[in-house]
Amino acid sequence: MKISTRGRYALRMFLDLAEHQHDGYIALKDIANRQNISKKYLEQIVSLVNKSGYLQSNRGFQGGYRLAKPPSQYTVGDILRFTEGSLAPTPCVEEGDSPCSRGLDCATYFVWQGLYQTISQYLDSITLQNILEQAKALGADNYII
């Protein structure tokens, strides 16, 4: 499994918003400058995430974006699911009907199911708050993922 640039940049965008959560609405150009990401790319990410209820937006002179909830309520898994889609390593373990004709009779199904559970549990156990605290403990001031 490989996380795309979109997924990595979305996580950096959310981390930037979490770090500046007390600064009000944050303009995408400010995030783009701090994270060295194209503003156009951030606009594409925002359009994906905007309908999720994860962000609040404000138009106008003081416009921008901010987190709709505290950083402790955002998991890496949730952010990646919005940007990457499923985190399943194979189609047979995705939610819903299995597209594989072998289904549960497949000898390797348990391997893919276990990998999927491990990936999901790990990514769902890490919040934006956890990452901010870890970065602060390490003295990091940028989020290059």
Low-confidence stretches of the chain (pLDDT beneath 50):
none
The 3-state DSSP composition of the chain as helix, strand, coil percent (nearest 5) reads 60, 10, 35
Q: Which one is the CATH code of 5-86+127-138: 2.60.120.620, 1.10.10.10, 3.90.1150.10, 3.40.50.1000?
A: 1.10.10.10
Provide CB contacts within 8 A for 124, sequence distance 6+.
75, 76, 77, 78
What pLDDT is recorded for position 43? Answer: 94
Helix H or strand E encompassing 55: strand 55-58
Cα 5 to Cα 83: distance, rounded to the nearest angstrom: 10
What pLDDT is recorded for position 104? Answer: 65
Q: Which spans in 20-144 are helix H? A: 28-35, 39-49, 76-84, 109-124, 128-138
* pTM of the predicted structure, to 2 decimals: 0.87
